[in-house]
A = this chain, B = another copy of it.
Amino acid sequence: MKTINSKEQNQEIILANHPSGVPTTDTFKINDIDMPAIKEGEVLLKSIYVSVDPGMRGFMNKGDDDAAGNKFELNKPITSRTVAQVIDSNNDDFMIGDIVHGRFAWQKYQSVSVDDMEKVDPTLAPISTAVSMLGVPGLAAYFGILNIGQAKKGETVVVSGAAGSVGSIAAQIARIKGCRVIGIAGSAQKIAYLENDLGIDKAINYKQVNDMEAAIKAACPNGVDIFFDNVGGEMFDAVFANINRHARIAICGQIADYNEANPPQGPRPMHALIKQSARMEGFVVYDFKDEFDDAKQQIAEWYNNGDIVYKENLIEGFENIPDAFIGLFSGENIGKQMIKVGEVAENQK
């Protein structure tokens, strides 16, 4: 245990109460806990960056039976995508000092099976991006635009939820590929971010528009070749009404609040799919697991070249994780919300 600063108190943040509506400080509780013993074959992790996402709210409901097994249990630590450092190892493949990421508990220190983590290459980009730009959100953007969307120069691409962690990268990859890119978002600040900072051709504030179908038509005089959909519902219908022949519609795994037992009703898309010989395809990033390394390399290269802008909204301090999460529902923050909860020990690498 030579690598743990023995003066630091280990802590956890648990789900203290099921929230109703927007979570409050009562939803969570911070406890002092013992420093964990490292188990056989596991590694001891120190949390460095914790990611919070609005989608986690759905896992906090009482009795919510989530298919992906993401439900949080009362009085157990919350989990979320986290970047951590190995500070002790009982596994030959992981060395002290290695940076890893995975869905870890909100704990300063924890012993974790190596099956539940992946190594982070710190030479690619800042290590915090391992759970954002180089993690599931960035990979979803990459494979959605390139593998599902088959984006080609000169095509028109519409991205819904364009200021989000997936949408903002999807829109930029489409722009890099020479497409005309239209982003949909929900605030003037986000519109300015998309048009000015990310170089998106046109951004539409759906809250300021009465007729989305007409707004898309006006923004896409040549029709829509690729639709990267993060939202669904009536926004889907408005964009879908403008698709071109041979359009590709990437249905991204980030659509919130779809209730599997009772899918919402909407216009059947079959007739338009036939008329336009168009394709609608769902995907999750793990469909493309074999291409992860290449994709991360490419995204990192674009990021380091300045072709992709990726913003983080960084808060410091383990105890501030609950406030950072709660803030997702009130603020108009742009950029991926991250909490820095520890320092990387450079001398261990």
| Residues of A that sit less than 8 Å from B by CB | 67, 229, 232-233, 236, 246, 251-253, 255, 258, 260, 263-284, 287
Contact = CB atoms under 8 A, between A and B. Distances in A.
B268 A272 contact: no
A216 B270 CA distance: 20
Contacts of A287: 246, 277
6 contacts: A260-B271, A263-B267, A263-B269, A266-B268, A279-B281, A280-B280
Nearest to A267: B263
Contact of A270 (B271, B276, B282): B282
A283 B275 contact: no
Nearest to A148: B279
A17 to B, nearest CB: 29
B270 A255 contact: yes
Contacts of A284: 274, 277
A303 to B, nearest CB: 27
B268 A276 contact: no
Contact of A281 (B229, B252, B273, B275): B273
Contacts of A281: 273, 277-280
